[in-house]
Amino acid sequence: MRIETERLYLRHFNLEKDLEAYALIMGEDEVGKWLPKGEGHTLEETERFMNYILKHWEKYNYGIWAVVDKESDCLLGHCGLNFISDLSETEVLYAFGKHARGKGYATEAAKASLKYAFEKLDFDHIIALAKYLNKASINVIEKLGLKYIKDIELFGLELKYFNITKEEYESLEK
């Protein structure tokens, strides 16, 4: 399964094909500092995360996609939907390498993920989480129409919790 946007493909990860390029992205401290670990991931940690992504797809029939530039066929990062068992809710999430930041890819990919969640999966709401100082991510979340609800602690982190309902999403799409 693949989703196509104006500039991007969102497709399933392929461990053999994507691991090396994805490890370079996930290894960046600028990426890792916004993830629970707080720093770049090793190759082994990236491989474990990719295996988590693949198992999540098998278990829930939705998940995180590899985000690829249509023109260059270059892996830019990840985006998609992740069930958080501690909250019993699904989040929209994304991470992009330094070469892909500041170009609107996160917003474009996350918007496609929300569309999939509400129109194909018929979810009633989606959440997003961000570390307090992650202004770029908070900006994307707000552009998508999610509203700040509260501060929460999860995975030992203090996070901002955002939410959008299906009705709110549909009113934005009109």
CATH of residue 87? 3.40.630.30
d(CA 124, CA 65): 21
Mean pLDDT of 20-32: 85
Give CA separation, 145 vs 10, 114, 141, 148, 168, in Å. 21, 10, 7, 10, 8
Provide the residue range defining the domain that includes 141.
Answer: 2-173
Q: Of 28, 1, 7, 21, give the one whose Cα is nearest residue 106.
A: 7
Q: How confident is the model at residue 37 (pLDDT cuts 50, 70, 90)?
A: low
If one counts the domains in the chain, the total is 1
For residue range 125-136, what is the model confidence (pLDDT) as tens digits? 999 999 898 899
Looking from the CA of 68 toward its CB, the CA atoms found within 13 Å total 19
Average pLDDT, the chain: 93
Tokens of residue 81, six digits: 């939907």
pTM of the model: 0.93
